[in-house]
Amino acid sequence: MNVKLIGFTPNPEKIPAMAAKLTHSKTKPEELDKTSDKELDVILKQVLNLGHTSVIEHTNFTFAISDVSRSLTHQLVRHRIASYAQQSQRYVDFKEPCYITPPKIEKNKEMKRAYNLTMENIWKEYNKLLEMGIPAEDARFVLPNAACTNIIVTMNARSLMNFFELRCCLHAQWEIRQLANKMLKEVKKIAPTIFKNAGPACKTKKICPENKKDCPLYPK
């Protein structure tokens, strides 16, 4: 899995702070940029501590994500407030096998052998369909959830906070949890104040939505 932050809103923490100040100030919008960075930093911390996170919607982040499974992206696109551009199985050549192997299968030699054989057979049948003149948009029906894909994702900071609460959780599926943690690591470099306390709900809200009391992170 490769995750790269390829774009973000300039002044990612200053703009939300300016938006927060606007709501409680007579200062005109065009004059907000005259506010000192120190004052804006204080304002941003205050509104985040109060849970007023609507202002961070003004900050967007764009990620380039590659070598993940279709199983992962099926979960990812359920996060509605985001923009996606995914590699097409209609227009891209997938004649060479490319798939993700789950860690538990990877660790079991017998299971891994059977898994790899299954994938090889799938791609043989896929290529056979193409050779028979079946269009790629129909041949792709035999490709598995494990098939590799690439995707570009844009989310605002508030949506990302929700994404991290759900997908950094130890009970999230392993691949999307890995993705969420890599994305969180990237945005913390750019907006450390916004994402200081980002992570699973047990960290941000001190609750466990899954009520999994056997989880090592369960709030005590």
> Which are the catalytic amino acids?
167
d(CA 172, CA 6): 25
Amino acid code (one letter) for 150: N
**What CA–CA distances, in Å, run from 79 to 4, 15, 89, 98, 164?**
19, 24, 21, 26, 11
Residue (of 219, 195, 209) closest to 53 by Cα position: 195
Place of tokens 């204080």: 42
d(CA 137, CA 191): 41
